[in-house]
C-alpha cells in the first residue's frame, strides 16, 4: 500500500511539472496547415523588417520622454575631499640651536548642490516635445505601412499556391480520364476494331497530360516554398495552406471615387506624410527660438571645512551658503547660424509638402489601377467561364462519341486541347479576379481574408 502511494505521488508530481513546463517554457507549435489570416498575422508578428521598425518606434518613444524631461530642473551634486601630509622640517633659532618641527596632516572638503531650470526659451522645449510626439506617431505609421505591404505580398503568394492546387486537381482529373480512355482504346485495339495510330495518339496525349500534372506539382512546391520563406519559417517545419471550399465571384464593384476618398483619409502612408509635414513645421518654430532670449533660474548650496580651524560640524554650519540667481542670454549676432537653420527648416517644410502631394497622387493612381484591374478581371472571368462551360460540354460530347466509335481521333484531341486551354484560362481568371478584388477592398479598409 505504501509503495502504491509513493508511486501515485511520483506520477502526479511528474505530470504537474510537465504541465507547468508546457505552460511556461514550451512554445505553441505552428499549425501544419495555415489559412490566409494565420499567415498574415504570423508575418506581422515575426517579420524582421517590421520588428526593426518596432525597435525604431521604441527609440522615438525614448526621445519623446527625453524632450518632456527638459521642462524639469536638473540637480547635480559635487564633493571634493583633500588630504595633505607634510614631513618634519629643521630650522635654527636666534641662539643657533636646531629646532625640529614635527610632521603635519591636514584635511579639507568642499560640498555643493547645484540646480537650474529653463524659464523661457522661445517655446523651444514645447515645440521639441510636440515634434517628438509626432515622431512617435510617424514611427507607428511606418509599422502599419510595412504591415500593409507584407499583407499584400502574403496574399498574392497565398493565392498563387491556391491556383497551383486547383491546377493540380484539374490536371489529375485529366490524367485519370486519359488512363481510362487508353485502357478502353487498348481493348478495342486488341480485338482489331481500331488502328494502332489512334491508340498511340491517346497514349501520347496521356503522357503529355501526365507531364503537365508533374509540372503543376513542382510549381506548387516552388510557390509554397516562396510563401514559407516570406513567413520566415524554418526549413524543417511542415507547412501547407488550407484551400477554401468555395470562391465566390464578384457581384459588384465599389465606385472608384468612394474608395479613393477612403484611402486618402485612412491609409498610413498619407497620415505619415501629414505627420512629416507637421514635424517639419515644428522644426521652423524650433529654429526661430534661436532669435529669442533664454532665461534660466539657478541655485546652489555650498559648504566646506578645513582641519585646524575648529569643530567639523561648526565649520560646515558656518561655511554653509545658498545662492539663487537668474541668467538672461540674448542673442545679438550669431554669424547667420540661426538664420541658416530657419531657412533650412523652411525648405524641409516645402519638401515635406511636395512628398505629401506625391504620396497622394501615387495612392490615387494605385487605387485607380486597382479599380481597373478588378473591373478587367471581372469581365475576363465572366468570359472565361462561358468559354470553359462550352468547351467542357464539347469535350464531354467528343468523349462520348469516341467511346461509341463515331468520333475522329484528330477531332477528339483538338476538342480536348481546346477544353484544356479554356480550363486553364478559367482557373487563372478566377484567382486573378479574387486577388484584384482583395487588393481593391484592402484600399477601402476591408481586412484581407478568404
Phi, psi dihedral angles at 49 (to 5 degrees): -65, -40
Q: Report the C-alpha gap between 344 and 365 in whole angstroms.
A: 31
Burial class (CB in 10 A: 0-12, 13-18, 19+), 202: buried
The rounded average pLDDT for each run of 10 residues, N- to C-terminus, in the chain (450 residues) is 38 39 40 90 96 97 97 96 77 53 81 96 96 97 97 96 94 92 85 81 92 96 96 91 86 92 96 97 96 96 90 91 95 94 97 98 97 96 96 93 82 92 95 95 92
* pTM to 2 decimal places: 0.83
> What pLDDT shows up at residue 370?
96
CATH tag, 31-69+121-292+333-443: 1.20.1600.10
The residue extents of the domains of the chain are 31-69+121-292+333-443
pLDDT at 7: 34
SS3 string of the chain? CHHHHHHHHHHHHHHHHHHHHHHHCCCCCCCCEECHHHHHHHHHHHCHHHHHHHHHHHHHHHHHHHHHHCCCCEEEEEEEEEEEEECCEEEECCCCCEEEECCEEEEEEEEEEEEEEEEECCCHHHHHHHHHHHHHHHHHHHHHHHHHHHHHHHHHHHHHHHHHHHHHHHHHHHHHHHHHHHHHHHHHHHCCCCCHHHHHHHHHHHHHHHHHHHHHHHHHHHHHHHHHHHCCCCCCCCCEECCCCCCCCCCCCCCHHHHHHHHHHHCHHHHHHHHHHHHHHHHHHHHHHHHCCEEEEEEEEEEEEECCCCCHHHHHHHCCEEEEEEEEECCCCCCCHHHHHHHHHHHHHHHHHHHHHHHHHHHHHHHHHHHHHHHHHHHHHHHHHHHHHHHHHHHHHHHHHHHHCCCCHHHHHHHHHHHHHHHHHHHHHHHHHHHHHHHHHHHCCCCCCC
Q: What is the pLDDT of residue 101?
A: 57
Amino acid at each position: 500500500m505504501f509503495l502504491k502511494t509513493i508511486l501515485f505521488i511520483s506520477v502526479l508530481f511528474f505530470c504537474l511539472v510537465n504541465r507547468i513546463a508546457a505552460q511556461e517554457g514550451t512554445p505553441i507549435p505552428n499549425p501544419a496547415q495555415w489559412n490566409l489570416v494565420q499567415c498574415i498575422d504570423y508575418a506581422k508578428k515575426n517579420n524582421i523588417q517590421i520588428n526593426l521598425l518596432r525597435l525604431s518606434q521604441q527609440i522615438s518613444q525614448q526621445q519623446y520622454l527625453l524632450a518632456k524631461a527638459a521642462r524639469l530642473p536638473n540637480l547635480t551634486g559635487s564633493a571634493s575631499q583633500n588630504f595633505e601630509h607634510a614631513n618634519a622640517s629643521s630650522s635654527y633659532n636666534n641662539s643657533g640651536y636646531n629646532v625640529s618641527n614635527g610632521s603635519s596632516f591636514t584635511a579639507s572638503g568642499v560640498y555643493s548642490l547645484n540646480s537650474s531650470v529653463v524659464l523661457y526659451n522661445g517655446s523651444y522645449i514645447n515645440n521639441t516635445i510636440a515634434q517628438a510626439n509626432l515622431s512617435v506617431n510617424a514611427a507607428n505609421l511606418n509599422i502599419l505601412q510595412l504591415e500593409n505591404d507584407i499583407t499584400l505580398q502574403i496574399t498574392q503568394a497565398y493565392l498563387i499556391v491556391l491556383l497551383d492546387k486547383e491546377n493540380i486537381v484539374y490536371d489529375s482529373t485529366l490524367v485519370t480520364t486519359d488512363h481510362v480512355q487508353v485502357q478502353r482504346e487498348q481493348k478495342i485495339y486488341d480485338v482489331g476494331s481500331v488502328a494502332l495510330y489512334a491508340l498511340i495518339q491517346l497514349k501520347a496525349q496521356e503522357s503529355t497530360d501526365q507531364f503537365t500534372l508533374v509540372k503543376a506539382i513542382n510549381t506548387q512546391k516552388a510557390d509554397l516554398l516562396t510563401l514559407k520563406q516570406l513567413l520566415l519559417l524554418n526549413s524543417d517545419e511542415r507547412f501547407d495552406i488550407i484551400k477554401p471550399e468555395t470562391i465566390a465571384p464578384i457581384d459588384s464593384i465599389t465606385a472608384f471615387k468612394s474608395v479613393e476618398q477612403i484611402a486618402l483619409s485612412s491609409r498610413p502612408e498619407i497620415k505619415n506624410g501629414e505627420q512629416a509635414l507637421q514635424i517639419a513645421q515644428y522644426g521652423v518654430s524650433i529654429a526661430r527660438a534661436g532669435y529669442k532670449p533664454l532665461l534660466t533660474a539657478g541655485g546652489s548650496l555650498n559648504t566646506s571645512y578645513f582641519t585646524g580651524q575648529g569643530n567639523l560640524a561648526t565649520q560646515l554650519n558656518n561655511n554653509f551658503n545658498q545662492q539663487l540667481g537668474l541668467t538672461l542670454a540674448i542673442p545679438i549676432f550669431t554669424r547667420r547660424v540661426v538664420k541658416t537653420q530657419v531657412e533650412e527648416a523652411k525648405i524641409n517644410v516645402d519638401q515635406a509638402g511636395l512628398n505629401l502631394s506625391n504620396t497622394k497622387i501615387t495612392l490615387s493612381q494605385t487605387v485607380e489601377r486597382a479599380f481597373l484591374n478588378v473591373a478587367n478581371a471581372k469581365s475576363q472571368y465572366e468570359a472565361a467561364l462561358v468559354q470553359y462551360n462550352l468547351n467542357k460540354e464539347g469535350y464531354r460530347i467528343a468523349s462520348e462519341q469516341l467511346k461509341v466509335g463515331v468520333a475522329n481521333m484528330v477531332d477528339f484531341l483538338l476538342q480536348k486541347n481546346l477544353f484544356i486551354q479554356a480550363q486553364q484560362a478559367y482557373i487563372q481568371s478566377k484567382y486573378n479576379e479574387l486577388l484584384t478584388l482583395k487588393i481593391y477592398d484592402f484600399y477601402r479598409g476591408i481586412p484581407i481574408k478568404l
